[in-house]
Amino acid sequence: EPTDPLEAELLEIALDAATRAGAFLRDGRPEDLGVAATKSSAIDVVTEMDIAAEKLITGLLADRRPQDSLLGEEGASVEGSSGVQWVIDPIDGTVNYLYGLPSWAISIAARKEGETLVGVVHAPVRGEIFRAVRGQGAFLNDRPVRVRPAPELGLALVSTGFGYLAERKAHQAEVVRWLIPEVRDIRRGGSAAIDLCDVAAGRLDGYYERGLNPWDYAAGDLIAREAGALTGGRPGEPLSPALTVAAAPGLFEQLQRRLDELGAWHD
């Protein structure tokens, strides 16, 4: 249990919101779920359930802590006075959710003064709740998780993701084209938040992606770091939308250096 009362409160609220949204999304998924709107391209989709889940989560958060700031993928943007900001992805892995694949998650993080204090990633169909509090380890369904010992790059199982814009995807495919023969294998799971948690749980050796947004990685970043991973962007830089890399120490530096050489980042 967190010793800091603010962190304990934020964790309890994040777990409650993620659990409620998880039940709503899992049990309420319409059989005939369709695309409600498209965003940056025809394949960048949002369903009515993304929007409804974000409303449910932000409603709960605003109820419990009305002075906090809110930032959500589906448009939540509130400037509060408490210094605490919630960063929310109501469904990370919308395309998996749309098709009925199991790997999608609710991602909720609480930040203060630029630091993530609490992160929760809930994957209801997998029956998994990952959580972390700054400095206090990472847990999967109440059991501590730990990254697996770093292999050399050539033996690493590495996950990645691709964006929604054709030009960006072509560039990402070019990076993968070089990386595939240099690693054990590549995975594309479809949820950045789950990828980061799978690194935390030792189910992947590493993960990288270009072009994420803060709601994709805010919670998973803390969970991965609290499980012993290093996370970052280009060498010497913190993780950012330009590049997100996560792996155990030893592999992390190799992967980061190689991705930089391959131009896996963007400005």
CB of 155 to Ca ion, least distance (A): 29
**Which secondary structure element, helix H or strand E, spans residue 246, and what is its range?**
strand 244-247
Instruction: Please report how close the Cβ of residue 142 comes to Ca ion at its closest, in angstroms.
Output: 25
Q: Which is nearer to ligand IPD, 12 or 44 (CB)?
A: 44
Torsion of the alpha carbons at 13, 18, 23 and 28, rounded to the nearest 10: 120
The C-alpha atoms of residue 35 and residue 15 are separated, in whole angstroms, by: 28
Measured at the alpha carbon of residue 82, what is the angle toward residues 81 and 87, in degrees to the nearest 5? Answer: 95
What is the nearest approach in angstroms of Ca ion to the Cβ of residue 10?
Answer: 21
Q: Tell me if 216 contacts ligand IPD by CB under 6 A.
A: yes
- Residues 70-99, one symbol each (x = binds Ca ion by CB under 5 A, - = not), give ---x---------------x-xx-------
With contacts defined by CB under 6 A, name the span among 88-96, 113-121, 168-176, 258-266 that binds ligand IPD: 88-96
- Residue 63 to residue 57: CA distance in whole angstroms: 10
162 binds, options ligand IPD, Ca ion, none, Cβ within 5 to 8 A by partner type: ligand IPD
* Closest distance of CB 39 from ligand IPD, Å: 8
Please choose, from the candidates 39, 56, 52, the residue with its C-alpha nearest in 3D space to the C-alpha of residue 95. Answer: 39
Give, for 86, the enclosing helix (H) or strand (E): strand 84-92
Contact status: 54 vs ligand IPD (CB under 6 A) = no
Q: Which residues of 117-148 are buried (b: 16+ CB within 10 A; e: fewer)?
A: bbbbbbbbbeebbbbbbbebebbbeeeebebb
46 three-class SS = strand
Q: Tell me if 226 contacts ligand IPD by CB under 6 A.
A: no
- Binding flag, residue 195, Ca ion (CB under 5 A): no
Contact 119, 214 (CB under 8 A): no
- Compute the least distance from the CB of residue 250 to ligand IPD, in Å: 25
Closer residue to ligand IPD in complex, CB, 99/238: 99
- Kindly identify the residues of this chain, within the stretch 170-209, that bind ligand IPD according to CB under 6 A: 190-192, 209
* Residue found under tokens 């980042």: 265
For Ca ion, the closer of residues 193 and 251 by Cβ is: 193
Q: How far is the CB of 218 from ligand IPD (least distance, A)?
A: 12
Q: Of all residues in this chain, which one has the CB nearest to Ca ion in the complex?
A: 92
* Total chain residues near ligand IPD (CB under 6 A): 15
| Length of the chain counted residue by residue | 267
- By CB under 5 A, the count of residues binding Ca ion is 5
Half-sphere exposure of 158 (CA within 13 A, CB side): 31
Report the amino acid identity of residue 54. E
Site for Ca ion, rule CB under 5 A: 73, 89, 91-92, 216
Site for ligand IPD, rule CB under 6 A: 73, 89, 91-94, 161-163, 190-192, 209, 212, 216
